[in-house]
Structure 1
């Protein structure tokens, strides 16, 4: 029989809450809290408690509630995460959240998340507010001791996945209490999944690539509507430490400490395995392979969306995890592998129900320049301009206009520098067409051709031999400098004897005087 009163009380409370998946999620959060506050089991500033009058498990830091799981008398299981009151406004747009002040005058409030909205536990803003609040709680003056109230087995269950699993089994089957928690292993019954979710019909690792304005980021919107998704945008200084895990300095009590912080990729993998009923990655890795494969194959998909993937040094960002991206090397697959992370020394792997979908602008970098190891592990889907979605606006055939411009760009440069249909999809009248060319298309052409104005004229049909009347051109010749004109300008003839020509964008277009920019200025780009 169980004789440890702490263990028995914890088992009884887990049974009261009656939701194994929610309990695992809570203890996963509690493990993160322990890592952040960096206080040992039994420290006077900690109190991991079970309230007698409520079906809840709470983590308190200096008598401030920091984290709680509670099963109300009516309704679903709830997670309470404490944040600074000043953070509440940042979360006001998330309608699913509730807020409960710790006290009327407290600087802190609890964010309340129902289990049906548990995906919000991985919301980046919520997590940052919570994680930033925890070190502040440890800096307040000690208000303990907590020893009389602290249940050390709650701390142990957060640190030891096998111990937590035994507690859950005991809560589920009280007859197992006749055996010691550290005794013989007990087979865990298979999880009861009522339905098997439909897996997406796409590769596990997919990059959408193409010129700007072809709808690559827009194609991520359906994934964002899924409850299980995370979004990140890469940039040139993005690193492995931000993506997977890294050491970050923090000032606590006037002293510099260094804490290991998990990145979005690690958290996405954690969220994915939690869909299978595991609390932590270690819990998943400690399961037997057959059980793990069954659970992960049945679990819903989690999507990690990476916008502008090629703007970062992808090889450095993924590091040693590049091997684990292969579908057959993932947790739950035939040849599953895992590695030991360099900072935390934790075992880590990528679950089979995680899907990575990225976008890549080919004007920034060609696919040919990507690391060959990355290219082998990702499927690539090209997204080209689609002129067919564009209408005729006030006599201007936008579809033919875009086709002609892109054909000329492809001839003069390459297909990676075409202009996407998104540059013209919102155009509904002549003025908006002028805005699109003045503010977006012509500046883009200047960038593409490095201010080589004769080539820009070729793209827009403004070159003399195309036959546009001078007043219809979007790029005007401002002045031609003959030898006589150059001598008059400088007082002598410069070394260069070549004829110099300067250009300008149509002044009426630049000034916003669109009534003086004829419709034919655009029609005659594609029609002589």
Structure 2
């Protein structure tokens, strides 16, 4: 009978689950599982199956449940992801999920996520736990075979998005093709996606889609990213000099499974952020988004909640190399859902790819590390820049030391001697309650930073701190001391002759009491007289 047909069994389960967007999301996860375990259709260690009479589709690896979608008789659709039991503590912050052990003595458990919390499926900690568990299950000694219950149609639907779309439409309307079970006339054509099952949020954030926060160190640029991370709608990454396109978008990476080395395409954080953004619009994959009609895609992406990609220290990497040809797709009018949307084919996976309109890219840049004038001009043209400057007003007085005036004076001197990009941020002086705290800040953070700024030109460091003799501090009030001043006579005594230079040579040292942590020996006037000239 037709009911014994594997495809018909799958159609029945899709119909019983009755939630096309949930089905697409599940098959997107299933495709990732296939890529991770790297097992072909029909491998004895793998079983994709349905259960007659239950609205369930499952993926097992070596007799262990790895992934499942389930529609209870009462309640919403559920996603089951298997992780190692040791991951439960790491996932404790996800209060909306339920943990279910596979068996009483099992080392694994299922994380159950309801459809209303489907965004948690892409939580970075959960994804890491799930992916690590999949690789471990492949190596389990509890082997298959699964051939007796493996449904090859499920595997094929996960690998072929067009086939999955056909199956979903056929499950909704069996009259499309009464004989073959699939509406073959639709092959090769893009059909509109069904309406998304999500709550529209038409108001976009009041900020540019591409934004870089720049300024001197300690001004709170990274701190400004924290609100985006609180609701789980952001991905965070820190660039470094060796960061590459292969890590950011996609690349081929070697993996050792057992004693065999295999190579497969791994997706980077930028790709995953774009995927999460289109999933906020109700699409399961980027391909589903691109297969939709332009008008429907525009409407759904405009109504979708935003997703944020946060890039700390964006200027520390070779931005032109990391973004590659995707730099054009970042422009507002080239985004998916925009009037002049563009997409391209990725070089490794050969997938079509675009940047959705509801993805917001926010970077931070330390101007003391590298001037914004050195940034790639293509990046500067596509990003808006917002300067974050030191804010002395957030500071207070500590034991008669006026920290706002102290910071402003130091920064005025740095700007005069160097430039505004190398000022000190207010974060260096926040949270201080005693003079000892202030001594710590100067000993461990401020003076070492000034050494770096001025390349150990101690004369200029003295000028910044008011320790130069003309300012009038008493010797014990200075943070940087003159250790020795060599005259030509002293130089002749030291070397036996006068060196080529006839100039006086001065050596410096940091106040020994400050270096030894003897803060009680540092008077308050050492800091007061940085900004207030002694009388």
| Structure 1 position 437 matched with structure 2 position 438 | no
CA distance in 1, matches of 2:14, 2:414: 65
Alpha carbons of structure 1 residues 14 and 521: separation in structure 2 relative to 1, 3 Å: same
TM-score (normalizing by structure 2): 0.93
CA distance in 2, matches of 1:14, 1:104: 30
More displaced 10-residue stretch of structure 1: 242-251 or 64-73 = 64-73
SS in 1 for 2:362: strand
Structure 1, residues 317-343: CA drift from partner, whole Å, max 9, x if none?
A: 111111111111111111111111111
| Structure 1 position 280 matched with structure 2 position 281 | no
CA distance in 1, matches of 2:192, 2:335: 24
SS in 1 for 2:330: coil
CA distance in 2, matches of 1:233, 1:75: 40
Alpha carbons of structure 1 residues 141 and 434: separation in structure 2 relative to 1, 3 Å: closer
Kindly state the Cα deviation for residue 125 of structure 1 after the two structures are TM-superposed: 2.7
Structure 2: which 5+ runs fail to align? none
Q: Write the mapping of 1:36-435 to structure 2, written as runs, cut at 5 A.
A: 36-52=36-52, 54-140=54-140, 143-173=143-173, 176=176, 178=178, 180-185=181-186, 188-191=193-196, 194-435=199-440
Structure 1, residues 198-236: CA drift from partner, whole Å, max 9, x if none?
A: 210111110000000111111111211233211111111
CA distance in 1, matches of 2:430, 2:331: 37
Alpha carbons of structure 1 residues 354 and 510: separation in structure 2 relative to 1, 3 Å: same
Structure 1, residues 440-460: CA drift from partner, whole Å, max 9, x if none?
A: 111111111111100000011
CA contact 1:248–1:261 (8 Å) conserved in 2: yes
Structure 1, residues 174-209: CA drift from partner, whole Å, max 9, x if none?
A: 555648523344765544665434210111110000
More displaced 10-residue stretch of structure 1: 251-260 or 193-202 = 193-202
More displaced 10-residue stretch of structure 1: 420-429 or 482-491 = 482-491
Structure 1, residues 337-356: CA drift from partner, whole Å, max 9, x if none?
A: 11111111111111111110
TM-score (normalizing by structure 1): 0.94
CA distance in 1, matches of 2:275, 2:167: 21
CA distance in 2, matches of 1:376, 1:281: 26
More displaced 10-residue stretch of structure 1: 492-501 or 122-131 = 492-501
CA contact 1:169–1:188 (8 Å) conserved in 2: no
Match of 2:24 in 1: 24
- Report the count of equivalent residues: 528
SS in 1 for 2:301: helix
SS in 2 for 1:67: strand
Structure 1, residues 448-478: CA drift from partner, whole Å, max 9, x if none?
A: 1111100000011111111112211111111
CA contact 2:170–2:183 (8 Å) conserved in 1: no
CA contact 1:2–1:177 (8 Å) conserved in 2: no
CA distance in 2, matches of 1:221, 1:171: 44
CA contact 1:2–1:178 (8 Å) conserved in 2: no
Structure 1, residues 139-198: CA drift from partner, whole Å, max 9, x if none?
A: 345733322211222112212222222333344445556485233447655446654342
Alpha carbons of structure 1 residues 493 and 31: separation in structure 2 relative to 1, 3 Å: same
CA distance in 2, matches of 1:16, 1:158: 19
Among 449, 469, 472, which residue is 2:474 paired with?
Answer: 469
More displaced 10-residue stretch of structure 1: 428-437 or 113-122 = 113-122
CA distance in 2, matches of 1:281, 1:304: 17
Alpha carbons of structure 1 residues 385 and 70: separation in structure 2 relative to 1, 3 Å: same
SS in 2 for 1:323: helix
CA distance in 2, matches of 1:4, 1:329: 48
Kindly state the Cα deviation for residue 519 of structure 1 after the two structures are TM-superposed: 1.3
CA distance in 1, matches of 2:73, 2:453: 64
Alpha carbons of structure 1 residues 217 and 2: separation in structure 2 relative to 1, 3 Å: farther
Alpha carbons of structure 1 residues 197 and 428: separation in structure 2 relative to 1, 3 Å: farther
CA distance in 1, matches of 2:192, 2:22: 21
CA distance in 2, matches of 1:242, 1:4: 45
CA contact 2:21–2:196 (8 Å) conserved in 1: no
| RMSD, matched Cα | 2.3
CA distance in 2, matches of 1:139, 1:470: 70
Structure 1: which 5+ runs fail to align? none
CA contact 1:207–1:381 (8 Å) conserved in 2: yes
CA contact 1:472–1:520 (8 Å) conserved in 2: yes
Kindly state the Cα deviation for residue 370 of structure 1 after the two structures are TM-superposed: 0.7
Kindly state the Cα deviation for residue 494 of structure 1 after the two structures are TM-superposed: 4.4
CA distance in 2, matches of 1:103, 1:485: 84
| Structure 1 position 15 matched with structure 2 position 15 | yes
